Chains A and B, each alone.
Chain A
């Protein structure tokens, strides 16, 4: 069962509702009252066994204490606060001069716990706001840089300028010679035609802009949403009979041409990976060798990065993989592919945490890196990551382009006490105060500071 940070809050609420004292429930569950207090304030992780004991002591179904997908709500709410602060400090001309008091981050849990629907609505609105901000940015950029728009506007202004001057001459010059009058009338005719032609082209262009790109999400987000809906796995690509183009044609979610282009590249690579690592042999090898990308790469004699990609594109339920995550970045560190593992937060737009093994791999080309990591959060969650960076084939004279790939797996049970690298999602929403990799201050208080 997924352990949500809210479990403690749920226990406390349920206990209060039943009118039980902390000491009574602790005694009935076989733990100390102090320990239960820590649990109820979400400062201790609770094992499944203990949850069952506590639930039993209260006579409730353990599921009601443990379940929940609030992780995304937490991240969404923190993002909302981050963007609020950003608008106040950076924006300058944000709406309303009076600075609004930032919500109390310490009470996010309480908020989510007591008003889950309101929290979800807020997160939803925040996501929509971010989308719209993106659209505005895109349009503003387009207006400032789009060569077609600039040329068209220049045409319009030129035509209007000569129309205005010429018309004024005709109206204001009473003694104008007939030849000149004829000439200027001709000018008006020509410039009117030019103006209507340009206007028509402009309208057509703007129409196309609206329909071609519904503008609500970036191409990468459209692709991710589609892959997520398809479970990140395409049985059609396993046999090799289906062309990526056919799959894309049947996917209205890929609204923009850019998203379809991204999808084409992704599916092509996925088909290649499926050819190099056929499904049944891979599943058999997984069962035999365990989820060890290194051993699989040796077994199938394929590049490590290919194994990492393949493991994140297998049908659900492959042994030892849980719900794997995968991130790929280029030499600039920009994430070019993102499959989120539950609990491993991926930033939406902001740059990611520089401590990710993904970036270490980028700095140490060809060297496989295996690292246990603790993703920062109210309760750190542990993952086992495999990362490697390899050059993309560009020939001898081409630019050297690196691509780093990182597979994110749930940490094996026996690694609970092993040392792990503390990482985060992105500086703005990361609670690790004393981090050498910090780029900018966080909006989240350091969870370890001031709470003995």
Chain B
């Protein structure tokens, strides 16, 4: 079975590194992107099994990227875990409205990231080949 791919779009290098370490140990292949502007090209060119998306990004906000994805038939169902430093209220609502599959407020426990990611990808193998 191929390793599951997750694309992490996060501009804070230390946060990205920590997440990458945790997910890699759990068996995920993690690629990291620091810049929102190039995200869509990367997602279309090499669609991962799931995306972890920070809300505040340089270049392009996570919400805009998410909206673009949801407007694209091929990416409509791609699981997206949204991260934001403003956990309550507006950001959570905005993420939900834009079509985030799950939401996690910073700071988070390492286990939560893994649990959420497993939950939105069906808890196991790469079985997303929708019609």
Contact = CB atoms under 8 A, between A and B. Distances in A.
Interface of A: 153-154, 157-158, 160-166, 168-169, 172-173, 180, 183-184, 187, 190-191
Which A-B residue pairs are the 4 nearest by beta carbons? A165-B18, A162-B14, A161-B107, A157-B85
Q: Is the interface of B mostly helix, strand, loop or mixed?
A: helix
Given A160-B107, A161-B107, A161-B108, A166 B14 contact: yes
A154 B57 CA distance: 12
Contacts of B22: 165, 169
Interface string B13-25: 0110111011001
A163 B109 CA distance: 11
A364 to B, nearest CB: 46
B56 to A, nearest CB: 7
Contacts of A183: 17
Contacts of A157: 85, 106-107
B3 interface: no
Given A154-B56, A157-B85, A169 B106 contact: no
Nearest to A153: B85
Given A154-B56, A169-B21, A173-B25, A164 B107 contact: yes
Interface in B30-85: 56, 85
B110 interface: yes
Contacts of A162: 12, 14-15, 18
Given A161-B12, A162-B12, A187 B17 contact: yes
A158 to B, nearest CB: 5
Contacts of A191: 14
Most buried by A among B18, B19, B22: B18
A163 B85 CA distance: 14
B14 A180 contact: no
B21 A180 contact: yes
Interface of B: 12, 14-15, 17-19, 21-22, 25, 56, 85, 106-110
Contacts of B18: 162, 165-166, 169, 184, 187
B85 A158 contact: yes
Contacts of B25: 173
Nearest to A180: B21
Contact of B106 (A161, A168, A172, A173): A161
A361 B56 CA distance: 49
Given A169-B22, A187-B14, A161 B85 contact: yes
B101 to A, nearest CB: 20
Contacts of A164: 107-109
Nearest to B14: A162
A168 B17 contact: no
A180 B20 CA distance: 12
A304 to B, nearest CB: 51
Nearest to A191: B14
B85 to A, nearest CB: 4
Nearest to B19: A165
Given A162-B12, A162-B14, A168 B110 contact: yes
Contacts of A172: 110
B58 to A, nearest CB: 12
Contacts of B14: 162, 166, 187, 190-191
Contacts of B12: 158, 161-162
Contacts of A166: 14, 18
Nearest to A173: B25
A180 B108 CA distance: 21
A163 B108 CA distance: 10
Nearest to B83: A161
15 contacts: A154-B85, A158-B15, A158-B85, A158-B106, A160-B106, A161-B12, A161-B106, A161-B107, A165-B22, A166-B14, A169-B18, A169-B21, A169-B22, A172-B110, A180-B21
A164, A172, A173, A184: most-surrounded residue (chain B CB, <10 A): A164
Given A162-B12, A164-B108, 6 more contacts: A154-B56, A157-B106, A164-B107, A165-B107, A166-B14, A169-B22
Nearest to B25: A173
A169 B17 CA distance: 11
Nearest to A157: B85
Contacts of A184: 18, 21
A68 to B, nearest CB: 52
Contacts of B110: 165, 168-169, 172
A140 to B, nearest CB: 14
Max chain B C-beta neighbours (<10 A), residue from A161, A166, A168: A161
Nearest to B56: A154
A109 to B, nearest CB: 49
A94 B19 CA distance: 45
A235 B95 CA distance: 63
A183 B12 CA distance: 15
A184 B18 CA distance: 8
Nearest to B21: A169
Nearest to B18: A165
B84 to A, nearest CB: 9
A157 B15 CA distance: 11
A183 to B, nearest CB: 8
A34 to B, nearest CB: 66
Nearest to A188: B14
